């Protein structure tokens, strides 16, 4: 595409592509209708074929200066011969003016215009005009064509500068937006880091030391035949709790998700919970399981852990069922038990339920609780199914 076509946009690009053909074929049609001359038809078809082969079929060739020069000289010679045959082909010179400003850089465009005017004037029959009159015609033609070309180039140059300015402003706006996002992210991470450090100190001085002391005492007991299995379960739970506390402070993925997807991790949690509580817990999966964003999987895993912990402490249930449902835009986790249930208003502010709701709400999800005294409890957490690719 020529520089002029790039600057002028789509409408000019189409017009400039068709103009050379029209300015050759239309005069040829009028000329042949007025008088049949095979040489006129042959030259017109040659000019069209020459333009098509160099400009339309192989636009990349026009990036080479010598190709442009050869193209221009040959086409100008063909136009001169056509004008010599019939003066109606003088109109074709307009196409040469356009090609001069479209293909020739800088001052070469004006030299192309001057050469075109000179050829057109020289090729036309003199009709008794003196050399001075012919020279005057050349000068006037060159001045008018150059003035029009200069105006067009000036307008197109302004359009190019405006386009470049717009692109620069858009890039600057995008850069500012990215900078603002980075600043917000850094501020948020700084706040999180400070809070994490505070939590680390608190956990290290309280929970971690207590769990470590419990593990030490349990290991000091050794194997007690009548309570060995129970003590081993307690020891495993204490070690797991200590590990998870440290991972939470370090903002790492929960251990069950480290090497497994959500569905597999839920099955492992349910199995360990059943072993510790003595209560059967089943896990079922519907839909097409797929890797999800870390925050999504972590949130649903924590909801499942908290819900199971509440069942073990309060529900007196006979069985528990976990259902993980993968849908097109969301993923849902349902935890249902056949226990004693509770009055929702009385337990709505419990720490466990509040923590679950906050986790789910943070991901623009919803948490619903269905329960009544003596009718069991159902907890349903639904969050957007953000794919794992979004993390990258």
Same domain? 122 vs 102: yes
Same domain? 159 vs 303: no
Confidence at residue 3, expressed as pLDDT on a 0 to 100 scale = 42
Q: Please, are residues 88 and 35 in contact by the beta-carbon 8 Å criterion?
A: no
With residue 320 as reference, give the H or E element that holds it. Answer: strand 320-326
Same domain? 97 vs 219: no
Burial of residue 315 (number of CB atoms within 10 Å: 0-12, 13-18, 19+): buried
* Alpha carbons 46 and 176: distance in angstroms, whole number: 56
* Alpha carbons 1 and 361: distance in angstroms, whole number: 54
Confidence at residue 372, expressed as pLDDT on a 0 to 100 scale = 86
Query: What are the structure tokens assigned to 305, written together?
Result: 């852990």
Query: What are the structure tokens assigned to 338, written together?
Result: 């056949």
Same domain? 20 vs 135: yes
What pTM, to 2 d.p., does this model score? 0.44
* CB hemisphere CA count around 78 (13 angstroms): 25
Same domain? 284 vs 344: yes
Cα angle 245, 284, 335 (rounded to 5 degrees) comes to: 55
Same domain? 14 vs 114: yes
Burial of residue 320 (number of CB atoms within 10 Å: 0-12, 13-18, 19+): buried
Same domain? 66 vs 113: yes
Q: Average pLDDT for consecutive 10-residue bins of the chain (392 residues)?
A: 42 61 80 84 85 79 79 81 79 72 70 72 62 58 62 68 82 76 65 62 60 66 62 71 63 61 90 87 93 87 89 86 93 93 68 81 89 90 83 52
Domain membership of residue 235 (yes or no) is yes
Confidence at residue 146, expressed as pLDDT on a 0 to 100 scale = 64
Cα Dmax for the chain: 132
Same domain? 277 vs 232: no
* CB hemisphere CA count around 3 (13 angstroms): 14
* CB hemisphere CA count around 135 (13 angstroms): 3
Same domain? 145 vs 64: yes
Closest residue by Cα to residue 118 from 96, 141, 99: 141
Same domain? 137 vs 247: no
121, 143, 169 — which closes off a domain?
169
- What is the domain count for the chain? 3
With residue 197 as reference, give the H or E element that holds it. Answer: helix 131-205
Same domain? 281 vs 231: no
What does the DSSP assignment read for 326-337? E-SSEEEEEEEE
Closest residue by Cα to residue 111 from 73, 81, 66, 160: 73
Confidence at residue 149, expressed as pLDDT on a 0 to 100 scale = 62
Same domain? 26 vs 77: yes
Domain membership of residue 180 (yes or no) is no
With residue 282 as reference, give the H or E element that holds it. Answer: strand 281-286
Range of the domain at 363: 261-391
């Amino acid at each position: 595409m020529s520089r002029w076509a790039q600057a002028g946009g789509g409408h000019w690009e189409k017009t400039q592509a068709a103009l050379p053909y029209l300015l050759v074929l239309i005069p040829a049609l009028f000329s042949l209708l007025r008088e049949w001359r095979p040489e006129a038809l042959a030259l017109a078809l040659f000019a069209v074929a020459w333009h098509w082969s160099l400009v339309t079929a192989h636009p990349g060739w026009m990036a080479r200066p010598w190709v442009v020069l050869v193209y221009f000289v040959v086409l100008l010679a063909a136009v001169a011969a056509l004008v010599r045959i019939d003066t109606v082909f003088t109109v074709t010179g307009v196409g040469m003016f356009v090609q001069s400003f479209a293909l020739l850089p800088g001052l070469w465009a004006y030299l192309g215009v001057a050469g075109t005017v000179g050829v057109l004037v020289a090729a036309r029959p003199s009709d008794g005009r003196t050399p001075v009159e012919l020279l005057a015609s050349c000068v006037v033609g060159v001045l008018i064509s150059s003035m029009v070309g200069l105006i067009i180039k000036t307008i197109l140059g302004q359009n190019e500068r405006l386009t470049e300015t717009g692109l620069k402003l858009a890039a600057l706006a995008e850069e500012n937006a990215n900078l603002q996002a980075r600043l917000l992210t850094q501020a948020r991470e700084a706040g999180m880091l400070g809070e994490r450090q505070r939590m680390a100190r608190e956990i290290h001085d309280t929970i971690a030391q207590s769990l470590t002391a419990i593990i030490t005492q349990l290991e000091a007991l050794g194997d007690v035949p009548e309570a060995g299995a129970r003590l081993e379960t307690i020891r495993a739970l204490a070690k797991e709790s200590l590990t998870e506390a440290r991972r939470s402070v370090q903002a790492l993925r929960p251990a069950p998700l480290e090497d497994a997807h959500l569905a597999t991790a839920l099955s492992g949690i349910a199995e360990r919970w059943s072993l510790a509580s003595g209560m059967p817990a089943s896990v079922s999966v519907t839909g097409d399981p797929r890797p999800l964003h870390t925050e999504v999987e972590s949130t649903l895993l924590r909801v499942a852990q908290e819900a199971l912990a509440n069942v073990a402490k309060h529900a007196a249930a006979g069985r528990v069922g976990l259902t993980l449902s993968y849908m097109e835009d969301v993923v849902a986790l349902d935890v249902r038990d056949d226990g004693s249930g509770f009055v929702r208003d009385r337990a709505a502010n419990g720490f466990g339920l509040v923590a679950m709701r906050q986790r789910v709400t943070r991901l623009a999800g919803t948490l619903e609780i269905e329960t009544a005294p003596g009718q069991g409890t159902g907890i349903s957490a639904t969050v957007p199914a953000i794919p794992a690719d979004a993390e990258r």
